[in-house]
Amino acid sequence: MALIFVVVMLLAALHDSDGTLRFASYYGDHMVLQKAPQKAVLWGYGSEREQVAVYLTSSTVLQKVLSDPVTNGIWQVTLEPVDAGGPYSIYAVAEGSISSLKDVLFGDIWLCGGQSNMLFTVSQIFNSSEELALSSKYPHVRPFMTALNMSKTELIDLIQVEIPWSAPNSSVLAEFSGLCWLFGRYMYEKLNYPIGLVESSWGGTPVEAWSSTRALKQCGLVPSEDMYELEDDIIQQTENSMLNSTVLWNAMIHPFLNMTIYGAIWYQGEANAEYHKDKYNCSFPTMINDWRMAFHQGSGGQTAPDFPFGFVQLSTYKESATDDGFPDIRWHQTADVGFVPNIRMKNTFMAVAFDLPDKTSPYGTIHPRDKQDVAHRLTLGARAVAYGEKGISFQGPFPKVIVPSKSTVNVTYDQGIFVTPSKDIFEICCSEKNASCESDSLWSPAPIMVWNQITIQLSASACPPSKVAALRYGWSDWPCEFKACPVYDSSKNLPAPPFIANRYAGNQIW
């Protein structure tokens, strides 16, 4: 092996790559590859029918892996598992050419996707100067960012790279996702091994743009040929219009399928408050499951078939809005269950964010600057769900039992609660047994009267007991001020998520 290493070094010294042999666009110096027990996949381009030898080296050759002969210009290898750490060098060698990757670390790779609140940069968040100044203290948290591109067909590689793999510094992070960076930094502080962060996000985009045709079919969302013709016109007219199903899946997610990843985090949904809102309880969970299947297959089984997926439940937008779709999307983000993980969304975790409004955000209220609390809540979920850490509280209180009586409704939660009185965040629907509660005119405030460690008693005086048909909590765009919702866990760290429960719909908590 030592002799092979010397030969590789000589090749590296004597030959620059002629461009025939190269790695795919999202491999590069300073990158992170997925650590053991998973196996990292490497691939790239070469001359037809050539065999590529890939060497993983430090002071000696640690691995040599041979590819199958290059087919259709593509070579691919799967390394044996490598424990967290580094740095390493990797050489791909074929007849007459060589390509190399330097300063490669092994750790966990997290894909960060979504729309503008994921795209929101470190330079835009609260305390950005301090955060940027800290960046050099986390050399093992490595960012990578795709460029914004669309495609009508599924691509094998990225069209462009916006930020190549980099050791973090203030200039790189100024343009990188604030939430993605904070999540990676917080996870590194807990795990103490390298974290690779792959950002692929685009503002103002619906979930349909990030979904495959295969996934959209499952929810009855495949556009007609007429829509595809419309999309051609839209793409030609403005690249900012995202009524295009699959175009971002094709260009900004599909190329990554061959890469082994550990998990994903997601911040999106605002665009669907007005676009296919009522389908989001299908389209979002289906997108997650479809990504899992596709990444598992694309990596040759190395990415877990149920890899952990974390997401941010929508924050706030319009303070005075009554029905702008945000409450419905928050509910649909959980597949209409109210919390995750659940039977339809396994191995998922969620950061509740509707108690983190930002009235004075210079980027608009839809873009709150406090990404630190959001990232912290996501890391709690990741620690518990993605890494199996025991004793981690990562979910806010959720109703376990709802009991209406003469003029009250008692809500008993699944954990200890901290309560601040409120007159209007709980609402009851006063309706006949089989009537719908869809009209807002049927809902009335149910003020908090008294409470103890796990139960809240609400006033139902606006409705006869027999007509209390449903109860909801936090069912508005902007239900409370900053960290001032009425119900948190007993440590006042995690807010109770919004919920809606119908008495006559077979709901288990009634």
- DSSP characters over 315-363: ----TT-SSSSHHHHHHHTTTTSSSSS-SSSTTEEEE--TT---TT-TT
Of the residues 67, 83, 105, which one is the last residue of a structural domain?
Answer: 105
Domain of residue 147, CATH code = 3.40.50.1110
Residue count of the chain: 510
How many Å separate Cα 499 from the centre of its chain? 22
Query: Does 202 lie in the same domain as 331?
Result: yes
Q: Is the pLDDT of residue 160 over 80?
A: yes
**C-alpha span between 248 and 303 (Å, rounded):** 21
**Residue that terminates a domain, selected from 351, 386, 421:** 386
Contact 493, 393 (CB under 8 A): yes
Q: Count of domains in the chain?
A: 3
Query: Residue 49, exposed/middle/buried by CB under 10 A (0-12, 13-18, 19+)?
Result: exposed
* Same domain flag for 313 and 275: yes
- Residues 447 and 470 placed together within one structural domain of the fold: yes
pLDDT at 321: 65
Distances (CA, A) of 310 to 72, 107, 114: 36, 18, 12
Question: Tens digits of per-residue pLDDT, 193-235?
Answer: 999 999 999 999 999 999 999 999 999 997 644 444 444 544 4
Q: Which domain holds residue 435?
A: 399-502
Integer-rounded Cα radius of gyration of the chain: 25
Q: What is the pLDDT of residue 19?
A: 58
Specify the range with the lowest mean pLDDT, choosing from 75-79, 237-241, 283-287, 470-474: 237-241
* pLDDT at residue 2, rounded to an integer: 52
Q: Does 18 fall in a domain?
A: yes
Other beta carbons within 10 Å of 222: 15
Tens-digit pLDDT profile for residues 376-426: 999 999 999 999 999 999 999 999 999 988 889 999 999 999 999 999 999
User: Residue for token digits 């809005």?
Assistant: 321
Separation of alpha carbons 91 and 56, rounded Å: 7
Tokens 């093992």 found at? 140
Check pLDDT > 90 for residue 358.
yes
Tally the C-alpha atoms within 13 A of residue 210's C-alpha that lie toward its C-beta: 29
My answer on whether 266 and 123 are in the same domain is: yes
229 plus 273 within the same structural domain: yes
How sure is the predictor about 7, in pLDDT bands with cuts at 50, 70 and 90?
Answer: low
Examine the domain organization and report whether 114 and 101 are in the same domain: no
Each residue's pLDDT tens digit, 80-113: 999 999 999 999 999 989 999 999 999 999 999 9
Residue 218, H or E segment: helix 213-218
Do 59 and 173 sit in the same domain of this protein?
no
Which of 17, 8, 84 minimizes the C-alpha distance to 53? 8
Q: Please report the pLDDT score of residue 87 as a whole number.
A: 97
**Integer Cα distance of 342 and 282 in angstroms:** 14
What does DSSP say about strands 85-94 and 22-23: parallel, antiparallel, or unpaired?
A: unpaired
pLDDT at 119: 98
3-state helix, strand, coil in the chain (%, to 5): 25, 25, 50
Q: What is the pLDDT of residue 283?
A: 97
pLDDT for res 240: 45
Q: Structure tokens of 318? A: 């319009």
Beta strand ranges found along 28-78 (DSSP E): 32-34, 41-45, 53-57, 61-66, 74-78
Give the CA distances from residue 364 to residues 47, 272, 372, in Å, rounded to whole numbers and listed in that order: 51, 18, 18
Q: What local confidence, expressed as pLDDT, does residue 15 receive?
A: 47
pTM, to two decimals: 0.93
For residue 40, pLDDT over 80 is answered with yes
> CA distances (Å), 217 to each of 162, 291, 309, 363, in order?
31, 14, 22, 36
State the residue for tokens 């691995």: 63
Determine the average pLDDT of the residues in 43-51: 96
How many other CB atoms are found less than 10 A from the CB of residue 240? 11
- pLDDT of 159 > 50? The answer is yes
**Tokens of residue 509, six digits:** 């908590």
Cα–Cα distance, 288 to 63 (Å, whole number): 34
For residues 355-374, give the mean pLDDT: 97
Residues 275 and 163 placed together within one structural domain of the fold: yes
Per DSSP, the residues of 277-303 read: GGGHHHHHHHHHHHHHHHHHHHTTT-S
Q: Is residue 392 included in any domain, yes or no? A: no
Q: What is the pLDDT of residue 233?
A: 47
| Same domain as 166, residue 130 | yes
What is the share, in percent, of the chain residues with pLDDT greater than 70? 91
Average pLDDT across the chain, whole number: 91
Is 70 exceeded by the pLDDT of residue 304? yes
Residue 36 belongs to domain with CATH number: 2.60.40.10
> Is the domain of 122 the same as that of 224?
yes
Of the chain, the percentage scoring pLDDT greater than 90 comes to: 82
Q: Tell me: pLDDT of 14 over 70.
A: no
In a domain, 301, yes or no: yes
The tens digit of pLDDT for each residue in 118-158 reads 999 999 999 999 999 999 999 999 999 999 999 999 999 99
Contacts for 206 with CB less than 8 Å, ≥ 6 apart: 242, 243, 271, 272, 275, 276
